[in-house]
Chain A
């Protein structure tokens, strides 16, 4: 008995060989050239991105490291300091930047000149700036206390040497001083992108001053402000320089944040695994922030 196989229309469509699909449709030397171009990138990515991340994760993978961290009173204090530093530092900085960006919208020539001076802290290198602040705040021979003594005959406090509150405050102040100009310029650019006719329409409707800000400027800047705040939070969570070079984590190790404590554990205590674990412990906070940021950046309803 014979059977007849009925062929469907699909069977006559020519199929691309699997091998060609895998090669992205490239043929012969095209494929070799494509490989030649992509291999250096892959090699660099593996060497300088994938390997350090995997090595770091491997160093800090043991659960007992996190138990050890939890038992260390310095770690818990560093977590508190990180929350205070990021929470206060970022929000004060961004709110100040929002207000100042409005001020710098003025068109007078001297406002433009002032803007130039205002962005200088951001433009100068970070390390010399923070080291200078460290020396200025020195209780014995620093510029600030010498000024207080010479002008007011007052012995100033040990800003970064004796009090945790003053030292952490000094670190937060230094961070704001350094980074507020940058975010001011970003928000200024955002404000400048708001169409002028919206303001004119608002003015016709009687919205001026604070109402204009509340009903026109802020709704249009809100998304940019949120994205900037998220970005700044992520940057500040990993910020090492401000704390290390201004207070050095002192007095009595009381102003360490996770970034500086991680370096201390890795190199001063000579426990790189513990140092990596300290830094990795910020991931539960960092990952949601990155996810929210990515969603915001993908959003199609961007105000500006």
Chain B
């Protein structure tokens, strides 16, 4: 028999230790039924409490563990991008603007897990636009698949300080019912208000390039109001040379840049980030703001006087007198392809989108976001009857006509959004003295060039 030497014992022990380092996590994860979840922090603390409660309830009901991280909006996107690039992403990721940014491009590159079974569990109840926003084109399989689980909805209502309008001698009930005329209605208020307050502006327009979302959202609503929604159609094909689209772009750029140049928009709006318009509104430096969700109002929920002073308004008709289509932001969840915790992750998501769970989660979060299911909004008085802010907001999102964000159709548009093409187009007019026509042509060419990199097959 050969006796082990001191050296062979040491060598063997080291080998076992090294092997167990690699083997242990896999065994632990497989047995523990755990999913790692990255979720975006809420705008108010109630949203985070609602999420924690939902996780707690799920863990009790399932026996699984949700190992979650609540991360602020900006850093969360960085972690998601870094995780998907390095191949070390959490099992489930949630982001408020994922449909507009990271999901279309990663679906295109075949980096996401198919979550069709999760979406199908509530397919009949989802708002059609939310359902459309769950499906993205995969450039490897050359087909569209469900990669995105809609969790909540955001649209852009108008937020108006009622007391400032009254102080200027106007009544909101007199506001015109078409898009440009509605914006024009506020212009004369500025002169009256400046008689007593320095540095007040009427338009919370956001011709910004800082983003990530508000500048694009503002422009797209002008584009829709001017008949240019068809710049990118549902089949993913661009129409940047369509005369109707070009005319709508020119009209939209003209309105926004003229309002800026005439001094109805704070000069700093060129560099606003997504929170700066909220800050300016709360400081009463702007009379009205077109901004996503009712975070503006919810942030003042515990200051009743201010909360009640804000009027949340629905959209007027478009410039042709037809009902305005609101662009529909879908906040939701997605998973990296081959996620180790895919099974638990999918179970968790199936739980999250159950109507009752979803409704409780969003109600506890003060109704800043809307449910993904119209029936929930219609059946629960919380959404349409108990609070005027929520009534206007839910009507825009769940009752009135809506359209998905463009990147749902073609991931190239996510890149165009990130490149802030429309904000740069406004800046070309107001800073570089370009004409709206020249600026529109430059922007459309840039978008055409970007979309050309993403040839979506006709489907």
Contact = CB atoms under 8 A, between A and B. Distances in A.
Contacts of A54: none
Interface string B65-108: 00000000000011001100110000000000000011001000
A250 B101 CA distance: 21
Given A59-B85, A252-B424, A253-B424, A140 B268 contact: yes
A253 B81 contact: no
B415 A271 contact: yes
User: Majority SS of interface residues in chain A?
Assistant: loop
A149 interface: yes
Nearest to B270: A251
Contact of A162 (B102, B105, B268): B268
Contact of A149 (B82, B198, B267, B280): B198
Nearest to A137: B268
B419 interface: yes
Given A272-B82, A272-B85, A251 B427 contact: yes
A253 B209 contact: yes
Interface string B130-173: 00000000000000000000000000000000000000000000
A123 interface: no
Interface in A157-175: 158, 160-162, 164
A140 B105 contact: no
Contacts of A270: 77, 81, 101-102, 105, 414-415, 418
Contacts of B212: 268
A162 B431 contact: yes
A160 B81 CA distance: 29
B81 A267 contact: yes
B238 interface: no
B372 interface: no
A262 interface: no
A266 interface: yes
B271 A266 contact: no
Given A252-B209, A252-B431, A162 B81 contact: no
Contacts of A141: 199, 283, 285
Contact of A140 (B210, B280, B415): B280
A161 B198 contact: no
Interface string A248-290: 1111110000000000001111111000000000000000000
B271 A267 contact: no
B211 interface: yes
A266 B81 contact: yes
B371 interface: no
A184 interface: no
Contacts of B415: 269-271
Given A59-B85, A270-B81, A250 B209 contact: yes
Nearest to A255: B271
A250 B270 contact: yes
| B interface, size bucket | 35 or more
A267 B424 contact: no
A300 B170 CA distance: 80
B271 to A, nearest CB: 4
A140 B199 contact: yes
A141 B268 CA distance: 10
Contacts of B209: 250-253
B242 to A, nearest CB: 24
A162 B198 contact: no
Interface in B41-77: 77
Contacts of B332: none
Contact of B266 (A140, A249, A251): A140
Given A140-B266, A268-B418, A248 B271 contact: yes
B81 to A, nearest CB: 5
Nearest to B104: A270
Contacts of B77: 267-268, 270
A141 B423 CA distance: 23
A242 interface: no
B257 interface: no
A139 interface: yes
B81 A161 contact: no
A269 B199 contact: no
A101 interface: no
Contact of B210 (A138, A139, A250, A267): A250
Contacts of B101: 270
Nearest to B431: A252
Contacts of A271: 415
A165 to B, nearest CB: 11
Nearest to A149: B198
Contacts of A268: 77, 211-212, 418
Given A138-B268, A250-B209, 10 more contacts: A141-B285, A160-B271, A161-B267, A251-B271, A252-B423, A269-B418, A269-B419, A270-B418, A272-B81, A272-B85
Among all A-B residue pairs, the 10 with the closest Cβ atoms: A252-B427, A250-B271, A161-B268, A269-B418, A272-B85, A267-B78, A158-B267, A251-B270, A161-B271, A251-B271
19 contacts: A59-B85, A74-B419, A139-B268, A140-B199, A140-B280, A141-B283, A149-B198, A158-B270, A162-B267, A164-B431, A248-B271, A250-B209, A252-B431, A253-B209, A268-B418, A269-B415, A270-B102, A272-B81, A272-B82
